[in-house]
Structure 1
Amino acid sequence: MNEWATMLSDASNMFVFLAVELSVLFLIISAGVALARQKFSNAKIQQVLGQRQGKGYLIATALGSLTPFCSCSTIPMLRGLLSAKAGFGPTLTFLFVSPLLNPIIVGLMWVSFGWQITLTYIVIAAGVSLLASLLLDKLGFERYVIKAKTSGTACNKAAAVAMPTQETLVTKSACCTAAPVIEEIPAAKSSCCNVTKPVSSCSTASTHNDQGKAQAANTPLNYRQASLDAWTQFKEVLPFLALGVLLGSVIYGFVPAEWIAKHAGSDNPFAVPLSAVIGIPLYIRAEAVIPLAASLLGKGMGVGAVMALIIGSAGASLTEVILLKSMFKTPMIVAFLTVILGMAIMMGYLVTFFF
């Protein structure tokens, strides 16, 4: 009875901790993204992470490696990139890399496992993320992105949310296509871009592009609007967040570390894939799972299984999958989990064979 009471207490404490931590992180990051969106237009984001294909992937990798996000706190940035219609491939690269690499994780791993395993981890995490993103982009998985719900004039609302502090003249560039196709728009159909007379669909936007950039740079940040945007997004994902935190807390409280070490020891040929699968529902940040993994290694868990557990638990979680379900259709969710599991298993076997 006392043991069950202890496990229930651990699960309850983890639920409160995760609920508070993730809620605060989500609101802060969402507000930060909203502030950044006030300064950087959709066109600029698309240019950096979309049109400049090679550089876009590298920038996304660097951005993900420098941001101290866990698998769930990556979601607000991901939503911002998707709403800005940034390049799909670079956006996925950020999604894969962000929870797995940052200076804190690299430092902890270096101290715990040495530079060789750490370097292998960096190469696998960044390399697989890049290759998987390129492949999913080429296969057209962008079609599995769930379109944001809008009401009224969809284009006006999207432009207003994306750039709330810019004038109508600037938001026109978000309504028009990127291709330099010139066509006359009748006045009756000009509501998307708030035009009251026939104009070229994109020529006017390109004419005022420099003016829009200058105005965006000089416009003071609207913190109240950013807070409102963050709160709106938080309310939308709250049911998903609560369910994911509940599941993760139950697993944390009622699945002891000793059980994991027993079933994923170095003598078990299936220890690596088993650890990768177990890691996903164990919602643990990489910064936290590395010390845990070091203790599991001391209890007899194989080093390959430990590496698979780190990538599986840090790269994905039930909470993140539930949140992603609000943005992606099932095939993309399956592809995401396949990449994380494949990365974890590859890392585990490489470390087992070479170290």
Structure 2
Amino acid sequence: MWQEVFQTFLFLSAELTILFVGISFVVQLLQRFIPYEKLEKAMETSHPLYGALIAIVFAFVTPFCSCSTIPIVVQLLNQNVRFRFVMIFLFASPVLDPTILTLMTATLGWKVAVAYTIITSIFSILIGFALEKLGFQNEVKRVIVKGNVTLPRQSSIKEAFAETWTLIKTVYPFLLIGAAIGSIIHGVVPTEWIVTHLGGEQWWFVPIAAIVGIPLYIRLSTMIPIADMMIAKGMALAPVMALMISSAGASLPEITLLQSIFKKKLVAVFVASVFTMATLSGFLFYVI
């Protein structure tokens, strides 16, 4: 049994490593061609829907975890970018990542990756507009980040290698942890147990998964191999996606950081919004 676990881990980690390193390097290399300042300006001056799409693109090309988005959120607020676009970025950036979407395509299939991208983008836009419409821009504290908090810099091939190596050191261990957990699930946990307890179509699996995911600080790179094995074992896709979205969209460290720039009411609404996005997304995957 443990030999099978080890073989699965080697195969899974090797496959994901090739994808992770390759896509990460390409993304870092392409940073030099992304006009971040123009994107910021376009969000401020363009039509609301066009600005929302730009915010989604901005979130996609700045692949950060939930905590890493906070300094950029503060920078956007300090530059008087409209609140709704800042919130769209805040919700979308942790869950939309070119590297993660590539891994998701390789493990869960392109249909799941496309549906995930569309659903999370739409919900991020809807939440951003709704929060501004409800006046939550008044719940932002006046905060100025000290120090040099900048967007990704332009990079040559050498710098792209350096940035990729930094990313490998900080994120890659989480990928290996996910591959290890996924391999154990594949080799140790009986398929019958997962099918019996987690494989049904009961609607309450989705909100429970969304609630469980919020306190955790799980990178999507960790969740991808775990989700792949749990689905292969018979767990329903909908609660898996709800867990992935909630764990990536919010975490206790991020909530703590948000309290320094948002008032308590907006922090509470942020958590509720992540839960809502994860839950409704899960239900949509039932339909799909």
Please say if 1:319 is aligned against 2:253: yes
- Does 110-119 or 310-319 show the bigger shift? 110-119
Can you list the C-alpha shifts for 1:119-173, whole angstroms capped at 9, x where unaligned? Answer: 2111111011111111111111100001127xxxxxxxx9xx7xxxxxxxxxxxx
Partner in structure 1 of residue 71 of structure 2: 76
Contact persistence 1:264–1:270 (CA under 8 A): no
In 1, distance between residues paired with 2:246 and 2:269?
14
Secondary structure at 1:58's aligned position in 2? helix
Within 5 Å, give how 1:210-229 maps onto structure 2.
Answer: 228-229=147-148
Can you list the C-alpha shifts for 1:35-75, whole angstroms capped at 9, x where unaligned? Answer: xxxx96xxx88743223242322211101011121111111
CA drift of 1:269 comes to: 3.6
Partner in structure 2 of residue 279 of structure 1: 213
In 2, distance between residues paired with 1:84 and 1:67?
18
Within 5 Å, give how 1:261-340 maps onto structure 2.
Answer: 265-267=198-200, 268-340=202-274
Corresponding pairs, count: 213
Q: 5+ unaligned residues in a row in structure 2: which ranges?
A: 1-35, 150-177, 179-183
| RMSD (Å), alpha carbons | 2.9
Partner in structure 2 of residue 51 of structure 1: 45
Q: 5+ unaligned residues in a row in structure 1: which ranges?
A: 1-38, 150-157, 162-227, 231-251
Question: Given the alignment, which residue of 88, 96, 99 partners 1:101?
Answer: 96
Secondary structure at 2:94's aligned position in 1? coil
Contact persistence 1:71–1:98 (CA under 8 A): yes
In 2, distance between residues paired with 1:263 and 1:96?
34
CA drift of 1:295 comes to: 2.2
TM-score (norm 1): 0.54
**Residue type matched to 2:127 in 1?**
A
Secondary structure at 1:68's aligned position in 2? coil
Question: Given the alignment, which residue of 142, 164, 171 partners 2:137?
Answer: 142
Contact persistence 1:264–1:305 (CA under 8 A): no
Partner in structure 2 of residue 22 of structure 1: none
Can you list the C-alpha shifts for 1:258-281, whole angstroms capped at 9, x where unaligned? Answer: 7xx699612344111111111111
TM-score (norm 2): 0.66
CA drift of 1:299 comes to: 4.2
**Residue type matched to 1:266 in 2?**
G
**Residue type matched to 1:327 in 2?**
I
In 2, distance between residues paired with 1:98 and 1:47?
18
Contact persistence 1:279–1:309 (CA under 8 A): yes
Distance 1:63 1:45, change over 3 A: closer
Partner in structure 2 of residue 130 of structure 1: 125
In 1, distance between residues paired with 2:40 and 2:281?
32
Contact persistence 2:238–2:283 (CA under 8 A): yes
Q: Which has the larger radius of gyration?
A: 1
